[in-house]
Structure 1
């Protein structure tokens, strides 16, 4: 569109647009936002009351501040430049966030929300950052520039509209505010607020939670109003009924596979009932495959009080599987999946009714933890401690959620320290359910002491006496297991082989395939290859997804899976026989849990544990040796209770210095980040591997695409390219990377769909 002429003086309210294509008037958009705010106010009034008490303010004033953010956040759209730009004028440069600031400032300037810093206008900072992150260089290009021409007659009429809405919501007249000055640079408003932030000290960290609350209210109302989702629910109100139905259906499917009559109702275990009766924080310890997830959800039902539910897991693989389970219980529309590749996975999931605009809103809301149930890697929550993007909404979720921390044993001391810091920074309204099959007492005690929270403790006593395995500790290396694995395979068994490193798993896979094919007839060789699978972390995402689904839906009859520790947690798999390299006892117990998972109690399955020459990828060979010694001392048929007691023997008080060091490092980095960012600024994570902020590892990784997929991926948009991503050790990438390191980072190593990438893959000259 060219030569557009626009004048505010001769336009009616409906012609002042907030959005274009389809056209939506500014008044209608604000009305939709306020409609959602009325529901938000009712839903979050208890959170507002508790937060206001901490700030020596009032619930009404805090919610009033949220109303002002919503009412004035788009006033900067009622300017001539914005209206020209939204109608198609390409050469217009304006910022409606900046141009909204005089109006929100005028409303709150003489009515401070937080008396400890009366000059700081948190509402103004929320409006300033409602489309982009808050940082000290924000809007500097507008410094000294005079404000645009406003549609003042329209804005005066809008004030009458907002006065009526305020009176309806708060049953009182809206406080009168001076009309803003529009004859000086709008940058002056934000510049003054940034100057106030320079004076903050640690005792003022409460402003993080107030700012987070206001920012969340702003985004809930703006995003849901923009996408016309006025009836979206904030929380799940009933967990028990859908949980019982989904659990019954899963149990009936298992009954059919066993050839037994499907049961007609669910009877909870005693420990699950106990967990479901607990109010407040809880530690839950129970063997793998005994229904810990269901127990944690029964706990959630008993603690629901307008809470969101966060389900936090250690890996993307475990998160994917848990999302599938919880979506089956609560419905796709109520369960979010958030991690580094969730955008790609959910686009595939939603492809039947895919629309770009709707999809983008869903992804934005998921990333903000706005869904009633959010399944995510723990890292996504911990990033909020470092003020990375969307830290505000995630921090607000932490203050008002029931958080289930599954597989807590999987974290190193540093990550555990970050989790404890998150607990400390959460409010009394938040509740935590900490789950593990192998939770050592020393870690349990440390979490309770350092988080300053009081936990109940329940463990599954019923399964303590159950014996599932015949454990054989071998004097040889796992390379010597080949003949025994193949014999079991030829007998029709499902055999799981777990190596500690990717290279070892590839070597075992090649040896098993080679040996097996020597024993088979030519016509059986192809069929056998379909029943032998290699699975480790260095496959592209598309191939990882295929392998995960294959493991959880194994065909009838013989099967061999050669894997690394990627199968240790959360995959619902059940093998007849295990061959594993020696590892720390808690990892071994997790591996044992992948065998004889769903069988009658009188059946024992064999598990073979082999010696190792190196501690890789673990930190200490002595921990592995001690684990084997402890395991050897309890005989070859230990029950579940004995196995779990070995964890406490290994991780005793001598392990405390490592935990203490991790906690200290985590605390120092968190508070340094918060203070450097003035408690409110949002930073960016620039590291190639952003997990470096939340995990302590000697093996940093890089994400890239094998060069052999170049022709395919360059036809795809960035979102669909994610399916070809592979994570490999950074030293391998640096040694075999593309030269220019452009938009797509290619790896010049051969990628085999059956084997993946290893450090011994041949270099490609293309």
Structure 2
């Protein structure tokens, strides 16, 4: 009766009793224990789950304080203290040694705030002891509930468990907190197991609490791809991946079932109790959105999540509603340890190692995970170094297995990845299989795009769908305007459109006669044209561009034209030496046989990184290793968080012409619709505009004063003239 009485009168939330919430969190904990059975070994602690059980059970006991309970009333005033600190008072009843009790104290006290924030505001023993008096009226009821916890513990672990007879002063709490803060200040290196134990303990407790609060009482299991994909015939790579256990490198062309092969590998490497999570890493948000839609349709929304910087906006567009709370909740669920298959950018993985808020939860989810890294060729040396160093840490400490794959990987990069990640096995299609994907005839034209206009018009007049790819937005805008008076269905596409305009253009891509574009078409857009004209670029980028023509190989052999001359601005985008080597290699090609592509790639990239690239790779690798060494559980390093966000090389701004519409939407709380008015600007362009006085800040919003044209996008070199429409 006492327990029932307590459960009805001590609340964790306005509409949920402490008992109800605790039982929900315990259900999630039980699910974690089943999926992450080996966590105690990685934490170096056979009592890990027993201790975590008590951290889960006691984490909200401090909410019994009279001030907290009053705060929950509709007109209750803010309490001004932290319940987590008071919850640790009851840890004194547990019969563990001081080292084990330290862990439980730290997990409980940091399940909302990190140690630094708590220290700034709440590390005062006198105040703590004074606040403890607020627990006294319900102390007996909480101890009665603790007896129920003892019974649950015995049911779960089968061990006899006796609580101590009386509550002592909580001297150990502040001793523990001060010791950990001192360790952080003195940059004392934690033993690997101690670090992992802190990460897993805090991470699992935070995740269980958050999921229970979101109405979830278990986490999903990884779906079996072999039950979903019922192919009559498998490629050799798919057959291999269905059986192979361990880290692997896979090279296969687009359209050869590479994604399915990777998922088969993920399934082959699953074992009950070994994490049961698969992370699929792609370089671009457009790729992630497309992959999310594709896999969600196959496996169900409850099994598949996605993470990238614009996830909220994407959910808004998919749901067709502006419910800020619901969309944030959906995005947050994707971040939690819930969905077993997550598609994400590399930065979402790397982010955790910068010690940003909640990093322990992100890392705990990765325990014994299977990580698929797709399109590995797409990353610059800096991102490659960050990614490989992070994966190496996960391999060493979390037994993560990795599948690295791409349609094209230079041998030097394969060797580098195999060395850093200790991958000894590689698989690719047979020569016969590869050549089934042969679908292009290449011709290098000895001039630039402007001398190709007549040839382009001839194809258009024959009813062919023509794709023209330029290396810069400025050149694409110039070329597109040359077709202005021609009666063809045409569009321009590049990265300097407002999001809402870019989406509108992308919806029309399959119905066009002519698409003039930049590199944005190299990834993820499901387009299929008859002929290509492209400015020169490194071979791997050109191969991606070729893939937008005769995509499914149903048109026989299609023509792709590579111009030998680009614009003077190209040198700031691509290394001229790589571009020149690529052109020379392609001059020797007529029909582009897939089985020959690896040899061509290695002719271009035979020397590996340039000296400058290699120096950058080594410098970033060294910095990242130092960052990993200094990673502390329980502490958020804001300075490292700043370093993380500086990795991104673009900003978002609203074109001045649309500022009024943007502000009106914000005033109406239509935040996601307002996001459609943002345009991306590279940091280099931002600094240039800043120097010219063409970009400025208004109410924490960047406004760009360059001319914006709905058909052409942002024209950086021309100032906006708001009056022009009225003259």
Please, which moves more after superposition, 648-657 or 276-285? 648-657
Match of 2:287 in 1: 318
Match of 1:339 in 2: 308
Please, which moves more after superposition, 722-731 or 455-464? 455-464
**Structure 2 vs 1, CA of residues 422 and 687 (structure 1 numbering), >3 Å: closer, same or farther?**
closer
- Which of 65, 69, 75 is equivalent to 1:83? 69
Q: Distance in 2 between matches of 1:294 and 1:70?
A: 38
Give the alignment of 1:643-658 within 5 angstroms. 643-655=597-609, 657=611
Q: CA deviation at 1:105?
A: 6.6
CA deviation map 1:92-148 (0-9, x unaligned) = 3122223323334764872535xxxxx9x343333233223x252434222432442
Q: Distance in 2 between matches of 1:708 and 1:101?
A: 56
**Structure 2 vs 1, CA of residues 350 and 68 (structure 1 numbering), >3 Å: closer, same or farther?**
farther
SS for the counterpart of 2:296 is helix
- Which of 670, 675, 680 is equivalent to 1:722? 675
- Superposition CA RMSD, Å: 3.0
Q: Distance in 2 between matches of 1:189 and 1:586?
A: 54
Tell me if the contact between 2:283 and 2:375 (Cα under 8 Å) persists in the aligned partners.
Answer: yes
Give the alignment of 1:341-356 within 5 angstroms. 341-351=310-320
Structure 1 residue 496 and structure 2 residue 467: aligned? yes
Match of 1:398 in 2: 366
Q: Distance in 2 between matches of 1:584 and 1:600?
A: 27
Q: Distance in 1 between matches of 2:96 and 2:180?
A: 11
Structure 1 residue 51 and structure 2 residue 42: aligned? yes
Q: Distance in 2 between matches of 1:105 and 1:596?
A: 70
Tell me if the contact between 2:473 and 2:518 (Cα under 8 Å) persists in the aligned partners.
Answer: yes
Match of 1:140 in 2: 120
SS for the counterpart of 2:543 is helix
**Structure 2 vs 1, CA of residues 370 and 705 (structure 1 numbering), >3 Å: closer, same or farther?**
farther
Structure 1 residue 290 and structure 2 residue 256: aligned? yes
Q: Distance in 2 between matches of 1:481 and 1:685?
A: 51
SS for the counterpart of 2:427 is strand
Q: Distance in 1 between matches of 2:189 and 2:112?
A: 27
Q: Distance in 2 between matches of 1:126 and 1:546?
A: 48
Match of 2:156 in 1: 169
Match of 2:375 in 1: 407
Match of 1:252 in 2: none
CA deviation map 1:69-108 (0-9, x unaligned) = 2112112211011111111312431222233233347648
Q: CA deviation at 1:276?
A: 2.5
Match of 1:330 in 2: 299
- Which of 476, 483, 499 is equivalent to 1:541? 499
Match of 1:570 in 2: 524
Match of 1:421 in 2: 389
Q: Distance in 1 between matches of 2:186 and 2:645?
A: 32
Q: Distance in 1 between matches of 2:615 and 2:62?
A: 50
Q: CA deviation at 1:617?
A: 4.3
- Which of 719, 723, 727 is equivalent to 1:762? 719
Give the alignment of 1:462-481 within 5 angstroms. 462-466=432-436, 467-481=438-452
Q: Distance in 2 between matches of 1:719 and 1:473?
A: 45
SS for the counterpart of 1:724 is coil
Tell me if the contact between 1:442 and 1:656 (Cα under 8 Å) persists in the aligned partners.
Answer: no
How does the TM-score come out when normalised to structure 2?
0.89
Q: CA deviation at 1:448?
A: 1.3
Match of 1:17 in 2: 11
Tell me if the contact between 1:205 and 1:679 (Cα under 8 Å) persists in the aligned partners.
Answer: no
Give the alignment of 1:112-131 within 5 angstroms. 112-113=99-100, 121-131=102-112
Please, which moves more after superposition, 490-499 or 679-688? 679-688
Match of 1:708 in 2: 657
Q: CA deviation at 1:279?
A: 1.5
Q: CA deviation at 1:17?
A: 0.7
Q: How many residues align?
A: 699
Q: CA deviation at 1:204?
A: 1.8
Give the alignment of 1:200-599 within 5 angstroms. 201-202=188-189, 204-230=191-217, 232-244=218-230, 266-305=232-271, 306-351=275-320, 359-368=327-336, 370-427=338-395, 429-466=399-436, 467-514=438-485, 516=486, 520=487, 528=488, 531-551=489-509, 554-555=510-511, 559-599=513-553
Match of 1:627 in 2: 582
Give the alignment of 1:86-101 within 5 angstroms. 86-88=72-74, 89-101=76-88
**Structure 2 vs 1, CA of residues 171 and 319 (structure 1 numbering), >3 Å: closer, same or farther?**
same
Give the alignment of 1:616-695 within 5 angstroms. 616-632=571-587, 634-655=588-609, 657=611, 660-678=614-632, 680-684=634-638, 692-693=646-647
Unpaired stretches in structure 1, ≥5 consecutive residues: 1-7, 114-118, 245-264, 521-527
Tell me if the contact between 2:537 and 2:574 (Cα under 8 Å) persists in the aligned partners.
Answer: no
Q: Distance in 1 between matches of 2:518 and 2:430?
A: 28
Unpaired stretches in structure 2, ≥5 consecutive residues: none
Q: Distance in 1 between matches of 2:673 and 2:84?
A: 32
CA deviation map 1:344-384 (0-9, x unaligned) = 211332357x8665544332231245311111111111111
How does the TM-score come out when normalised to structure 1?
0.84
Tell me if the contact between 2:226 and 2:264 (Cα under 8 Å) persists in the aligned partners.
Answer: yes
Tell me if the contact between 2:336 and 2:361 (Cα under 8 Å) persists in the aligned partners.
Answer: yes
Tell me if the contact between 1:223 and 1:361 (Cα under 8 Å) persists in the aligned partners.
Answer: no
SS for the counterpart of 1:276 is helix
Tell me if the contact between 2:546 and 2:560 (Cα under 8 Å) persists in the aligned partners.
Answer: no
Please, which moves more after superposition, 665-674 or 680-689? 680-689
